Structure 1
Amino acid sequence: MSKVALVTGGTRGIGEAISKGLKAAGYTVAATYHGNTEKAEEFKAATGIHVYKWDVSHPDECVAGIAKVEEELGPVEVLVNNAGITRDGMFHKMSFEHWREVLSTNLDSMFTMTRPVIEGMRSRGAGRVINISSINGQKGQMGQTNYSAAKAGVIGFTKALAQENAFKGITVNAICPGYINTDMVAAMPEKVLESIVSGIPVGRLGHPEEIAATVVYLASDAAAFMTGAVMTINGGQYIANG
């Protein structure tokens, strides 16, 4: 029986590539989504990947959703915390609602999704938690104080959880993608996109499959000695220390 991997925000963009990559590597994949049911059903029909709808910012929905996944597919052995939103704007004009929405989905979800699976991983003596942060959680980004704060928090969460669970055979790592060629990025105005690409030393946007390949590695037995790591995949746009 193949291992079960749960990917939040797993039907679109980077999450879609991660879900497909894990399935190709032999995992039984459950992909969550929140908004677009039509897109999720199309994804399910095209890939055969199981899809589940809930809001990762709501603790009760996460507990119920994860219980359903484990009842139908088996215990979650790989958790990929990928779901995220943006509500961009300059801080001096930002509403608390937009601050709270981003922190709830992007950072609170580290708790709401990981807490229901961590005890099972500990009891089995094995598990993988892979958190998708961002280049902007490392360097900050004008107009994204909410997003940058949340994604920086993901990095701190990763390092602390890794230390708590390493002796239980559980690894916890983070990936910080740069600008990736998803529908969201492709929809940017042409001049803005050109400006972004000009600041990337390799001269292009990243591919979702490049993030997915790193997730597949971190989920594998080959990565058993890697925990607490923060992996930057940004084409050289930002080179982090250590």
Structure 2
Amino acid sequence: MRSYCLLVCCLLSLGATAQNRKKKDYLVSVTTDYGPMTLVLYDQTPKHKANFIKLVDQHFYDGLLFHRIIESFMVQGGDPESRTAVAGASLGNGDVGYTIPAEFVPSLFHKKGVLAAARDNNPAKASSGCQFYIVQGRVWDDAGLQKQIERIKSNQGHVPTPEQQQVYKTLGGTPHLDGNYTVFGQVIDGLSVVDSIAKQPRDERNRPKTDIHMRMDGNWVRKKKISKKYGYSYQQ
């Protein structure tokens, strides 16, 4: 009887822990040479979310560089070779020895501030296990956006919905990447840091002429607190 009671208590405890975890989300704090950013990771892309959490918890990104920046497009980092790279060296080929299957979700698109996975030209469009980019993009007018939509169609990507097109015409982003690269999170605080990083001088390979370092820390925080502090709305 005593063993049975212990088993029941353990099961109840596990159930309570799981329920409590559902009420929380993993907040990523990114420290850069141009200020801090706060990121959330989307539940709709569970493989990418789990992998990013693992790497942040391992402090994999600490000391790495934003090694590729293009103003009005994006800032990219996560190459492990950037930790010890000499000035002017070509970067972008480092990895962790595995890829992540693409997780394309039509409701997740390349608006300004989203976190997305870099990749090579593999036919399955599988993501790099560690390299990522944050979208800066630009605001599009009707004519420019229509050209982007034609480019999306030719690349067999995801054509943005009318609501998403409106976001591209107000907040901005990089629509031609939709349906070809996995979007798995977004900046919910410190978006101006992306603008600051993107405008820095760069060389012919788009590497910043002055190194831009990063550090990442993660914590589980109650969703209600995240929504209240950052104004972030969770999809039901």
TM-score range normalised by the length of the shorter chain: under 0.3
Structure with max Cα Rg: 2
Bigger fraction of residues in strand: 2
When normalised by structure 2's length, the TM-score is 0.28
When normalised by structure 1's length, the TM-score is 0.27
Bigger fraction of residues in helix: 1
